[in-house]
A and B are shown apart, each in its own frame.
Chain A
Amino acid sequence: MRYEAPDSLDAATELLSSEPGVSRILAGGTDLLVQMHAGMTEPDLIVDIKKIPDLRAIVAEDSGFRIGAAVTGAEMGEHRELKSAWPGVVEAVELIGSTQIQGRATPGGNLCNASPAADSVPAMVAAGATVTVVGTEGTREIPVQEICTGPGQTSLKKGEIVVSFKLPARPSRSGDAYLRMTPRTEMDIAVVGVGVNLTMDQEGNCIDARVAIGAVAPTVLLVPEAAAALIGTKVDESALAELASAASAACRPIDDKRGTKKYRIKVAGVLAKRAAKIAVERAGQSL
């Protein structure tokens, strides 16, 4: 097994694409090293991307933010402007693992590990985030939800690296929130996770919304029906009830050790409601 830590993107993509055997990107390693330790993967080449400056920065850009894919959860949590603009995205990242895990775990790793229960992904999808992907054949910019294609599977081609996440500019009176259900508070994997992002107008009507749900299907779901239940309403009890049923209706969960189907479907609706309430409250504060 070879370990490389190049300091440029070009060198990294070159290393990855020219490796004839199995190559893996290493960010925080909180998924990859665990999988290697369990004998689930035995890469011939590991390319550590933490030395590449572009991947390690959070910058304000076009009134939004560009977050390097290898920025850690702890760094996102300490970024005051980011946290005040996108509290839902940051709280999702901060739910990953524990304080110790936060020091290593990255949003890029969380996305590319392609777990249906990854916590930051529903929040990113709800936020309408896009990712910049760089490979030997060039650069593409795609929505976050187009990366994962199934549990452990991504649309990334050999040699491609997710370089950064782009969070768009934020209209005033916008808010987002992420809630998850886990049997224990920390060090646990979501049974259901819901991200809600919305914008209100001056009269208190919801004029835009995105709702995404994790852990209830092979990939994170963007649920337009759930968003539609909010748009044009005052996000009152009846809108919330519709949101909950739309969110529940979208779920296609499996029965597993973390929750039965019926339970996950019901909880998805409840969490969607609660996340929407928090998002509305945050929108009110973000004038």
Chain B
Amino acid sequence: MSKELHVIGKASRKVGVMQKVSGQTVYAGDISLPRMLYCKILRSIHPYARIKSIDSREAEALPGVMAVMNGKDSPKKFGIMLRRGDDEVLAIDKTRFVGDSVAAVAALDEETAEEALKLIHVDYEVLEPVMSIAEGTVPPNGEPIHDYAELGNIHKRVSLEFGEMEAGFAKADLIQEDIFYYEGNTHLAMEEHATVAHYEADGKLTIWSSTQNPHYLHKAVANVFDMPPSRIRIIAPPTGGGFGGKVDPLNHEMVVSKLSMMTGRPVKITLTREEVFYAHRGRHPVLMKVKTGVKKDGSITAMDFKSFLDGGGYGSLGVATVYYTGALQTVTYNIPNYKFQGARIVTNKPPCGPKRGHGTPQPRFAVEVQLDKIAEKLGINPLDIRLNHLTRPFTKTANHLSITTTGLRECIEAVEKRSNFREQYGNLPLGKGLGLACGSYITGAGFPIYWNEMPHSGVQIQIDRGGGVTVFCGSTDIGQGSDSVLAYIVAEELGVTVDDISIVTADTSLTPVDLGSYSSRVTLMTGNAAIDAARKLRTLLFETAAKEFGVPLESLDARDNVVFCPENENCSISFPDLVVKAESEHGTLGSVGSYAPPPSTLGGKYKGAGVGPTPAYTYSAAVVLVDVDLETAELKVEKIWIAHDVGKAINPLLVQGQVEGSVYMGLGEAMMEEQVFRRGLHKTPSLLDYKSPTFLETPDIETILIETNDPNGPYGAKEAGQGPLLPIMPAVANAVYDAVGVRIDEIPIHPQKIFKAMRDKEKGKEGRYGPKGVPEIPFPDPIRVESQWGQRADQESSR
């Protein structure tokens, strides 16, 4: 469509933001219902223990306590993987980390509920915990943490091979092997999770919850309580940040539902910040071994990538995470032959799951740092080793992923230009350094979490007789601006102003399904569904107007609440007037639209091919300027230039916000954040102790948006919420090397690590800090698939 755009592409205010800044937004934690009870959860003090008995008689007798429950009261398991889920509503017979849920109380107020927890007596048999990847890969001393684990405590092993590895390595002039470690960290959304459940006398259950995924929660709740989904309504009020931490259905949501059923009253829980650290589902710690063969010109002949993930106590989306640590290495640079082996290990720590970038920041860190090491050995500038070997648009990768548009070249060139990288790299004074890195991410997973052929996103539009437009969609605004995207698109298509639009989202009884706010899928998928719905309605309205004016439908345009014919001044009608005429002609006005990714983008047929495909990949490149104190090794990031190929910025201001937010989060991961434990105990479960940057550590960020107009995106748009995080961590590591000549092959890059590497280097040892080995575990024989690297990827419109 070559129509001029009036709303799309313009910087404008976010929908709902005035309510947020004035304190009017009603979050889940603000909801209060008459007769509401408050829930508190008793948590395990042992990393691993069997529950021999729970005596809650004293708690039940405490005045003000209305119900006490434990795992036996609701024994069915659940999880984001649905039928394969291993989450328990409350521990059934074992607790698997410090903070795991054991029992719950509903009382008239929070204080009484807390008091009652002290009166619940749990008799534990303490079991031998598994606290590390290494411990989890050897046959356990005690019993495995989960029955489904293989070889002790291994949750999942993956082994895939694309192309001819031996031949690939044989062609290489240099074979580089490195081992990297990426420590776990958590989301740190500002809003702690809150849920209110209300089970009413007609047998219907309504849940208001801070969730990114009302649809999957809907399915999980139905499953746990064996209830028809038609009796359950999930509402996600505006969510105060998610970053992946509210993707999984979580046990507190089930607990308050059950307590509401037991008491016939609404029940509410708000997790404390400490409990949020236990609910976790954050970044997996990953140990990686990368072997890459390159020719003298830096072209990669083969890559063999191994990853070992520390999963924590439960499965979460971990199976997908393992695959993601191997999926997207291939989409940035040409890798004709590729092998991936990954294993997720269960340990007695809070469960890891999806966090911004889901399973891809860790391997991206490894690939980008290794590439710099290779470039140095070959005497190639870090820019060129990337620029000379970029994947091409509309081609496939070794592992059968279809690339549509790629703006990686423009991204690299843009940050090069602003930072003057080519001249400055290697030439700054000792202590100052520049680092370059790139990344790529999916714009929405090609497949839903459970197999089905239905749309991934649905939008419904209704028009009232005054000209107001209401847009219904299951999508969930977690702060990223998905409500805004719906409003802008419908405003653009119908020619009304954004202020005339009401958005109703994330309510399973009112809104068509959208799968949820994960995998950076929302702008592309709800956007396309919204266009689909809006254009149907636009046609209806324009038909009426065309008839009225006696002009062809194609000659009409609409903007600012007026439908008009640009060629004929006399043909003009206000949107409300047109609505009245159209409703008189057609009857009630409304339309629906839906979207599912086009089959051509859905990847290969091999087992595991479901992780990685997407309608469109985004690309980013960043250059980071650091200062390393030569005596104390203190690390300061002084400036960041980042370019992101967003396809098309629906609202450039919101995209910039997403990019800057990603940079900020990436810096936290790069420099300080870590989820670490001592004897099973989380060391820093508070905002004071868990070190995350403040704005004092956040440098000047220059954001450059690259627009490649992807044929699969609405108006050409791709994602912006996760991709820009990816280059930050490796760029910092590469900059530290440029500054002081030491390699930190481990995230986070604490000053002590730089300090140690600098001292080692002074003593003539290798100036490197990082892991030295990976566990030897038997991987199954790889599934061998022919490489599709470089093949043409078909273009086709969405189904």
Contacts and interface: CB of A to CB of B under 8 A. Distances in A.
Interface of A: 181, 183-188, 257, 259-260, 262-263, 266-267, 270-271
A184 B694 contact: yes
Nearest to B754: A263
Contacts of A259: 752
Interface string B341-352: 000000000000
Contact of A186 (B694, B752, B756): B694
Interface of B: 631-632, 634, 671-672, 676, 683-684, 688, 691, 693-694, 696-697, 750-752, 755-756, 759
B755 A184 contact: no
Contacts of A181: 632, 634
A98 B397 CA distance: 50
B341 to A, nearest CB: 33
Given A185-B694, A187-B688, A257-B676, A263 B755 contact: yes
A257 B684 contact: yes
Contacts of B676: 257
26 contacts: A181-B634, A183-B671, A183-B672, A183-B691, A183-B750, A184-B672, A184-B694, A184-B696, A184-B697, A185-B696, A185-B697, A186-B694, A187-B688, A187-B694, A188-B691, A257-B676, A257-B683, A259-B752, A260-B756, A262-B756, A263-B752, A263-B756, A266-B755, A267-B632, A270-B632, A271-B632
Contacts of B750: 183
Choose among B683, B684, B691 the residue with the greatest number of A CB atoms under 10 Å from its CB.
Answer: B691
A260 B752 contact: yes
A28 to B, nearest CB: 16
A263 B756 CA distance: 8
Given A183-B750, A183-B751, 12 more contacts: A181-B634, A184-B694, A184-B696, A186-B696, A259-B752, A260-B752, A260-B756, A262-B756, A263-B755, A270-B631, A270-B632, A271-B632
A190 to B, nearest CB: 13
Contacts of A188: 691
B694 to A, nearest CB: 6
Shortest 9 CB-CB contacts between residues of A and residues of B? A185-B696, A270-B631, A263-B752, A267-B632, A260-B752, A270-B632, A263-B755, A183-B672, A257-B683
Contacts of B631: 266-267, 270
A184 B697 CA distance: 7
A274 to B, nearest CB: 9
A237 to B, nearest CB: 13
A184 B752 contact: no
Contacts, number: 41
Contact of B751 (A185, A187, A263, A271): A263
B701 to A, nearest CB: 17
A266 B751 CA distance: 12
Nearest to A264: B752
Contacts of A266: 631-632, 755
B632 A184 contact: no
B693 A184 contact: yes
Contacts of B634: 181
A186 to B, nearest CB: 6
Nearest to A98: B694
B742 to A, nearest CB: 14
B637 to A, nearest CB: 12
A188 B693 CA distance: 10
Contacts of B756: 260, 262-263
A184 B673 CA distance: 11
A119 B199 CA distance: 53
B129 to A, nearest CB: 20
A259 B756 CA distance: 12
A156 B696 CA distance: 38
A187 B696 CA distance: 11
A194 to B, nearest CB: 12
Nearest to B631: A270
Nearest to A34: B688
A271 B672 CA distance: 21
A186 B688 CA distance: 10
A188 B631 CA distance: 21
B117 to A, nearest CB: 12
Contacts of A185: 694, 696-697
Contacts of B671: 183
A69 B123 CA distance: 48
Among B631, B752, B756, the one with the most A-chain Cβ atoms within 10 Å of its Cβ is B752
A266 to B, nearest CB: 7
A259 B753 CA distance: 10
B45 to A, nearest CB: 13
Contact of B691 (A184, A267, A271): A184
A257 B751 CA distance: 12
Contacts of B759: 262
Contacts of B684: 257
A255 to B, nearest CB: 10
Contacts of A263: 751-752, 755-756
A184 B691 CA distance: 8
A184 B687 CA distance: 13
A267 B750 CA distance: 14
B763 to A, nearest CB: 13
Q: Which of B676, B683, B755 has the most CB of A within 10 A?
A: B755
A237 B684 CA distance: 40
B719 to A, nearest CB: 30
A13 B756 CA distance: 51
Nearest to A257: B683
Nearest to B633: A263
B212 to A, nearest CB: 28
A181 B672 CA distance: 14
A168 to B, nearest CB: 31
A267 B632 CA distance: 6
A36 B694 CA distance: 26
A257 B688 CA distance: 13
A271 B755 CA distance: 15
A248 B631 CA distance: 13
Nearest to B694: A186
B401 to A, nearest CB: 38
Nearest to A263: B752
A249 B376 CA distance: 40
A183 B693 CA distance: 9
Which one of A181, A183, A185 has the highest number of Cβ atoms from chain B below 10 Å of its Cβ?
Answer: A183
Contacts of B691: 183-184, 188
Contacts of A262: 756, 759
A286 B66 CA distance: 69
Nearest to B629: A270
Contacts of B751: 183, 263
A266 B693 CA distance: 24
B470 to A, nearest CB: 42
A99 B672 CA distance: 22
A187 to B, nearest CB: 6
A186 B672 CA distance: 13
B204 to A, nearest CB: 39
Contacts of B688: 187
Nearest to B634: A181
Contacts of A267: 631-632
Nearest to A260: B752
A242 to B, nearest CB: 16
A186 B695 CA distance: 10
Contacts of A257: 676, 683-684
Contacts of A260: 752, 756
Contacts of B683: 257
A271 B750 CA distance: 18
A239 to B, nearest CB: 17
Nearest to B696: A185
A266 B762 CA distance: 15
A260 B697 CA distance: 22
Contacts of A184: 672, 691, 693-694, 696-697
Nearest to B674: A257
A267 B630 CA distance: 11
A267 B688 CA distance: 23
Nearest to A181: B632
